[in-house]
Amino acid sequence: MTPVHHPLDALTLADPDAPPHVMGVLNITPDSFSDGGRFLARDVALSHALSMVEQGASLIDIGGESSRPGAAAVSTAEQMDRVLPVLECLRPLLPPEVVLSADTRDPLVAAAAVKAGATLINDISGGSAPGMLETAAEHNAGVVLMHMQGTPETMQQAPTYEDVVGEVLAYLQVRAAAARAVGIPAHRILIDPGIGFGKTRVHNLALLRALPRFVATGYPVLLGTSRKRFMGAICRETVFSELVGATCGTTALGVTAGVKVFRVHDVRANRQAMEVAWAIAREG
């Protein structure tokens, strides 16, 4: 067992017998698909983060750039202006075991966020920007490496695959190997199949069915399905905030597959789904 000397290590994500965790989403953006504009004010953002921890989140993921389909890139300076003040104020308010994550694909933002209190970098581009993985290694941060076909601006323009599961899995294994090559320990590398990021409904469902294959890599798996549009189409819901039950369904599925972290907007409901699914699978 790896000695616990890093907030991420305390979550024991690499231990298949340890329970999974909920990551609460804190979007400090005006245009995120589900909650854009709600948490731009610092006091409101801090209050929401504290509420999510109270509801059971072990990690808080703070981002200043929307990744909704069609979203334009946000400058380094603007991301920093949005994210850093919240990180700096939030870290002293939380227990040390709560992990703060910076949701960014910009190495400069990542470096500043780690200095402000983050210990995890959640990169939707799989750590592909020059210097991103080196930045994480230099600052002793963990990484979430996600698969995305294209960019947020282009990803839903007719995404195609020959074998979506095989291609996404191969990509994530290559990116994880690159992270290890620069010195990031394997137990601090999480992989995320990127549900909804350059995928159709059929692709998303195939990836969800194949979650055990991602778990079998040995890297902790993060699942982010929260309020995703493809579930709304299945459930005949057009309001994203009404997809709590749909998200909880994928959370329960993910627990049985061995997923370790669930990135969600609705912490309490998904924490309940996660804990009950874990008890069914592991107790008795």
Mean pLDDT of 64-92: 87
Residue 207 lies in a domain: yes
Catalytic-labelled residue, pool 228, 229, 260, 271: 228
CA distances from 169 to 173, 197, 256 (A): 6, 14, 19
Residue 12 lies in a domain: no
In DSSP terms, which residues pair with 60 in a beta bridge?
A: 24, 100
Residue 178 lies in a domain: yes
Alpha helices in the chain (DSSP H): 42-54, 76-90, 107-115, 132-138, 164-181, 201-209, 211-215, 229-235, 244-257, 267-282
Residue 40 lies in a domain: yes
Residue 191 lies in a domain: yes
The structural domain count of the chain equals 1
Residue 227 lies in a domain: yes
Look up the CATH number of the domain holding residue 261. 3.20.20.20
Q: What is the pLDDT of residue 40?
A: 67
**CA pair distance 106, 84, nearest whole angstrom:** 14
Reported as a single tens digit per residue, the pLDDT across 142-184 is 999 999 987 666 667 778 899 999 999 999 999 999 999 999 9
**CA pair distance 147, 219, nearest whole angstrom:** 14
Output the six-digit token pair for 146.
């996600």
pLDDT at 1 > cutoff 60 = no
Residue 3 lies in a domain: no
Residue 256 lies in a domain: yes
Task: Please confirm, yes or no, whether 228 is among the known catalytic residues.
Answer: yes
Q: What is the pTM of this model?
A: 0.92
Q: What percent of the chain has pLDDT over 70?
A: 91
Mean pLDDT of 131-152: 93
What's the domain range around 188?
A: 19-282
Classify the phi-psi angles of 224: left when phi > 0, otherwise alpha if psi is within -120 to 50, otherwise beta. Answer: beta
**CA pair distance 217, 56, nearest whole angstrom:** 27
Coil, strand or helix at 121: strand
Q: Which residues contact 7 (CB under 8 A, 6 or more apart)?
A: 96, 97, 98, 99, 119
Reported as a single tens digit per residue, the pLDDT across 196-249 is 999 999 999 999 999 999 999 999 999 999 999 999 999 999 888 899 999 999
Catalytic-labelled residue, pool 175, 188, 229, 263: 263
**Residues 193, 172 contacting (CB under 8 angstroms):** yes
Task: Please confirm, yes or no, whether 115 is among the known catalytic residues.
Answer: no
User: Between 119 and 40, where is the model more confident?
Assistant: 119
